[in-house]
């Protein structure tokens, strides 16, 4: 029956078109690895996919912020432990200077040592990482202190910024990092701005001055003040430890959050490769069959073919 | 004796009629694949026959009858209007949806994500020059992404308008052909199958372009009404339709892209009648789909809305923040600029302020006194609902716009396959009813051939009889 060959041909072409679309879809899924390659593939999933991707980007950036903060906190922590060693050394110097066997000359030389140690403590307070002063607080580009033995206290404060810059983790909690500024650690003040009893710079300076002038009473007093300062530094070290701990927890929490987000996104967006491969195979077979069938159809003869 | 000669005449006449019938078969067979052609049949009738009354009978033709079925034609036209609309719409939407990124890694969502990340990195080291510069670069990326997407959408819009223009001119061409054909049909004798085929083929082409109602008049001419109301062709008169772009009266956004309308020669607006066909799809796309994104006289367009939302929110946070706590405190400056005078072009005019430098980014939130409070708030925009955008975050709003286009594209694609199947079905139904069947024609040819041969044989036999009668007469003479 050859009636209306055109209508049959257009039906055939439209069916062929459908099959080719199936081949294209399967092909696209296999090559991109994604089930959703354009909005029409699953309009209902677009918002969620973009949402997950946006969260993944956010958590990835948080991880990078946390890791930068961790590096900086490690630098700060090791600076504090250097300072702690120095204070212990000062403590022995004070004991040595306070002993009755130490002469004025010996004490003057010890005073020189203390002066050197104060200089080193200032450089610890000025520890920088990646171009910023770790204990610079909110003003990390200004050097916190300058060593100057000839001024009272032996140091000049250049940076009075407090620290408020907080790192936010992927759970939305934030922590000020590093927790304390150079002033809070080394140059503790009372509420009225006067020098606190535990002020490290002041106590080291006082020790140095007492040793240099061989002031026994001063040396005694300074020796006991250094002990207070050691406690003060111990508190700073503890705070630093807490920070490092928080950073570590935040970082592992971010990692697990990222993994979970990625698996959710993958479930929503990724193609089922096995299914896509099967679809491709099926569609290709269907296409070949349709073309072969159409080929036979065009071989069909009408009655005219049998005329003399 | 007169009856013997009459019989000879009748048989001779039958040969003529059979020749005509074979001629009709020939025309059918050669036109089997001519678009619009339907099977023609020569109507045969037996002549009065009465032996005693000296009526010698025989066969006569009562004219050629067309097998055209108006109902089948009508269903093809209806299906064609729907299929024209759906396939055109599917093609345009499919093109449009390609400008929407669904990975979140490129285009507008990718650029926004990069900006949030830059804000976040900057928040952890607010005074770091590199981090500040990254924010400026990422903001630049956002403005580029918006303007690229906007210009891609505009390109698609202008492509659609071009297609619309060419479809309308095609429609006018076809209706002018129909008017010419109507004139020829009026003057041609009888039912010219060739003219009819041309007419119906043109009508089918027209139905693919626009929703038309066709009335066949008693003289065989076609009256074509657009949307059943506005005459496109009446007899030999054709009404040209013009495509025009215009702003609605008192537009809220006078600078917006004008909307498309179709006008009759009398200036009557017939846009609302054209709801089907490729022209209908072009109009819907130009007047509904694209304005939702790019804006029109009455709406701002979601791309512009999103661009303005991003710029306003970011600028608002920055200008309420501080660059330096001082004293004296230095307030923040805006990061983005756009042309507020053209609300329907913000996605395109969005740019990074030419005067801002990295160190002028206001990281300080003065209320909380936190040095990176503002920067953190900017980084948190990634998930923060925006009151100007139906309480959706920027990425959600974008997702909703993309999902809407995707939904339309998906529906249009389904409609396109469904209506194309319906069209195929209507066409194949019509082919069964009125298409030329070669087998049928072959059998008819065989029948006519046999009849012809038999009639010819009849003439030979009658001739022999007449000859013998004549020889009897000669012998008698």
Q: Is A62 in Cβ contact with B407 (below 8 Å)?
A: no
Domain annotation covers residue B379: no
pLDDT band at residue A2, thresholds of 50, 70 and 90? very low
Q: Is the pLDDT of residue A298 over 70?
A: no
- For the ranges A3-7, A149-153, B33-37, B271-275, the lowest mean pLDDT is seen at A3-7
Per CB-CB distance under 8 Å, the chain B contacts of A181 are none
**Together in a domain, B269 and B314:** no
- Per the model's pLDDT, the better-predicted residue between A64 and A303 turns out to be A64
Per CB-CB distance under 8 Å, the chain B contacts of A47 are 396, 399-400, 403
Q: Is the pLDDT of residue A4 over 70?
A: no
B351: alpha, beta or left, given left = phi > 0 and alpha = psi -120 to 50? Answer: beta
pLDDT tens string B280-339 = 999 999 999 999 999 888 889 999 999 999 999 999 999 988 888 777 888 889 999 999
Both structure tokens of B3: 């009856």
pLDDT reported for residue B1: 44
Mean pLDDT of B22-29: 93
pLDDT reported for residue B477: 60
Both structure tokens of A211: 């040793």
Residue of A nearest to B99 (CA): A38
- Count CB neighbours of B366 within 10 A: 17
Whether the model pTM is above 0.80: yes
The residue count for chain B:
477
pLDDT reported for residue B389: 83
**Together in a domain, B82 and B137:** yes
**Together in a domain, B296 and B322:** no
Q: Is the pLDDT of residue B351 over 90?
A: yes
CA distance A219 to A206: 8
**Together in a domain, B168 and B205:** yes
ipTM of this model?
A: 0.85
Both structure tokens of B170: 């095609």
pLDDT reported for residue A1: 31
pLDDT reported for residue A3: 39
The residue count for chain A:
308
- Full domain range(s) for residue B422: 73-301+394-428
Q: Is A50 in Cβ contact with B399 (below 8 Å)?
A: yes
Q: Is B439 in Cβ contact with A1 (below 8 Å)?
A: yes
Per CB-CB distance under 8 Å, the chain B contacts of A167 are 124
Q: What is the DSSP string of B138-189?
A: HHHHHHHHHHHHHHHHHHHHHHHHHHHHHHHHHHHHHHHHHHHHHHHHHHSS
**Together in a domain, B351 and B422:** no
Domain count, chain B: 3
**Together in a domain, B119 and B200:** yes
Mean pLDDT of A107-133: 89
- Count CB neighbours of A16 within 10 A: 15
pLDDT band at residue B353, thresholds of 50, 70 and 90? very high
CATH code, residues A80-253: 1.20.1330.10
**Together in a domain, B202 and B156:** yes
Per CB-CB distance under 8 Å, the chain B contacts of A11 are 424, 428
**Together in a domain, B147 and B266:** yes
Give the one of B395, B404, B427 whose C-beta lies nearest to A7's C-beta. B427
**Together in a domain, B83 and B109:** yes
**Together in a domain, B121 and B148:** yes
> What percentage of chain B carries pLDDT values higher than 90?
60
Mean pLDDT estimate for chain A: 86
Cβ–Cβ < 8 Å for B24, B62: no
Cβ–Cβ < 8 Å for A121, A234: no
Q: Nearest CA of chain B to the CA of A278: how many Å? A: 23
**Together in a domain, B35 and B117:** no
Q: Does B37 touch chain A (CB under 8 A)?
A: no
pLDDT tens string B76-86 = 999 999 999 99
Residue of B nearest to A178 (CA): B124
Q: Is the pLDDT of residue A242 over 80?
A: yes
**Together in a domain, B182 and B50:** no
Give the one of B114, B120, B406 whose C-beta lies nearest to A40's C-beta. B406
Mean pLDDT of B119-130: 88
Mean pLDDT of B137-157: 95
Mean pLDDT estimate for chain B: 90
pLDDT band at residue A13, thresholds of 50, 70 and 90? confident
Q: Nearest CA of chain B to the CA of A186: how many Å? A: 22
For residue A4, give Cα distances in angstroms to B33, B207, B439: 8, 20, 12
Q: Is the pLDDT of residue B211 over 90?
A: yes
CA distance B429 to B410: 29
Domain annotation covers residue B376: no
pLDDT tens string A34-48 = 888 889 999 999 989
Domain annotation covers residue B420: yes
Token pair 């925006």: residue = B386
Mean pLDDT of A6-15: 76
Q: Is the pLDDT of residue B184 over 70?
A: yes
pLDDT reported for residue A6: 64
């Amino acid at each position: 029956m050859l009636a209306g060959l055109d209508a049959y041909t257009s039906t055939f072409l439209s069916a062929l078109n459908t099959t080719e679309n199936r081949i294209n879809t399967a092909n696209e899924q296999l090559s991109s690895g994604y089930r959703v390659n354009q909005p029409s593939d699953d309009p209902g999933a677009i918002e969620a996919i973009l949402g997950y991707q946006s969260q993944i980007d956010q958590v990835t950036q948080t991880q990078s912020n946390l890791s930068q903060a961790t590096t900086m906190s490690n630098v700060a922590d090791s600076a504090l432990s250097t300072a702690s060693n120095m204070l212990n050394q000062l403590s022995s110097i004070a004991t040595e200077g306070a002993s009755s066997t130490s002469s004025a000359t010996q004490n003057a030389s010890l005073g020189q040592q203390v002066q050197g140690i104060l200089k080193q403590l200032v450089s610890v307070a000025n520890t920088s990482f990646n171009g910023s002063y770790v204990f610079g607080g909110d003003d990390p580009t200004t050097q916190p202190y300058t060593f100057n033995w000839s001024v009272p206290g032996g140091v000049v404060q250049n940076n009075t910024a407090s620290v408020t810059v907080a790192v936010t983790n992927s759970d939305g909690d934030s922590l000020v990092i590093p927790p304390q500024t150079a002033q809070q650690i080394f140059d503790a003040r009372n509420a009225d701005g006067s020098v606190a009893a535990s002020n490290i710079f002041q106590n080291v300076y006082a020790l140095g001055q007492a040793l240099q002038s061989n002031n026994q009473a001063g040396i005694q007093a300074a020796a006991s003040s250094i002990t207070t300062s050691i406690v003060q530094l111990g508190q700073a070290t503890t705070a630093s430890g807490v920070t490092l701990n928080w950073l570590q927890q935040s970082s592992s929490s971010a990692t697990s959050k990222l993994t979970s987000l990625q698996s959710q996104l993958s479930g929503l967006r990724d193609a089922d490769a096995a299914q896509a491969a099967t679809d491709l195979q099926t569609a290709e077979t269907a296409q070949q069959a349709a073309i072969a069938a159409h080929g036979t159809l065009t071989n069909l003869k009408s009655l005219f073919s049998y005329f003399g | 004796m007169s009856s013997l000669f009459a019989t000879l005449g009748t048989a001779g006449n039958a040969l003529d009629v059979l020749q005509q019938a074979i001629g009709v078969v020939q025309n059918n067979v050669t036109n089997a694949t001519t678009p619009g052609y339907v099977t023609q049949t020569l109507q045969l009738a037996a002549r009065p026959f009465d032996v005693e009354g000296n009526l010698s009978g025989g066969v006569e033709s009562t004219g050629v009858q067309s097998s055209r079925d108006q109902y089948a034609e009508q269903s093809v036209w209806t299906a064609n209007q729907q299929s024209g609309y759906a396939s055109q719409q599917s093609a345009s939407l499919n093109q449009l949806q390609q400008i929407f990124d669904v990975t979140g890694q490129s285009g507008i969502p990718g650029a926004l994500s990069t900006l949030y990340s830059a804000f976040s990195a900057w928040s952890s080291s607010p005074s770091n020059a590199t981090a500040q510069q990254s924010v400026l670069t990422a903001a630049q990326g956002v403005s580029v992404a918006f303007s690229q997407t906007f210009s891609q959408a505009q390109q698609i819009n202008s492509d659609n308008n071009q297609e619309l223009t060419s479809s309308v001119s095609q429609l006018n061409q076809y209706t002018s052909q129909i008017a010419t054909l109507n004139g020829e049909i009026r003057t041609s004798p009888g039912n010219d199958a060739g003219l009819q085929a041309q007419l119906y083929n043109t009508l089918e082409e027209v139905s693919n372009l626009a929703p038309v109602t066709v009335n066949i008049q008693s003289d065989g001419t076609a009256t074509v009404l657009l949307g059943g109301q506005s005459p496109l062709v009446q007899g030999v008169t054709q009404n040209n339709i013009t495509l025009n772009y215009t702003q609605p009266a008192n537009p809220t956004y006078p600078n917006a892209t004008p909307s498309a309308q179709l006008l009759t020669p009398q200036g009557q607006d017939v846009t609302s009648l054209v709801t089907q066909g490729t022209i209908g799809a072009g109009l819907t796309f130009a007047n509904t789909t694209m304005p939702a994104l790019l804006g029109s006289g009455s709406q701002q367009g979601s791309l512009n809305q999103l661009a303005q939302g991003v710029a306003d929110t970011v600028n608002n946070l920055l200008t309420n923040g501080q660059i330096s706590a001082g004293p004296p405190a230095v307030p923040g400056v805006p990061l983005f600029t756009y042309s507020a005078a053209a609300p329907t072009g913000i996605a395109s005019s969005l740019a990074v302020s030419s005067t801002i430098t990295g160190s002028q980014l206001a990281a300080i939130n003065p209320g909380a006194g936190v040095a990176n409070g503002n920067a953190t708030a900017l980084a948190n925009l990634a998930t923060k609902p925006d009151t100007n955008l139906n309480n959706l975050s920027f990425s959600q709003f974008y997702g909703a716009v993309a999902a809407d286009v995707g939904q339309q594209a998906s529906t249009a694609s389904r409609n396109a396959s469904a209506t194309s199947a319906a069209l195929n079905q209507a066409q194949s139904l019509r082919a069964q009813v009125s298409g030329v069947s070669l087998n049928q024609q072959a059998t008819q040819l065989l029948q006519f051939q046999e009849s012809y041969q038999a009639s010819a044989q009849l003439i030979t036999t009658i001739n022999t009889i007449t000859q013998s009668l004549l020889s009897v007469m000669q012998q008698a003479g």
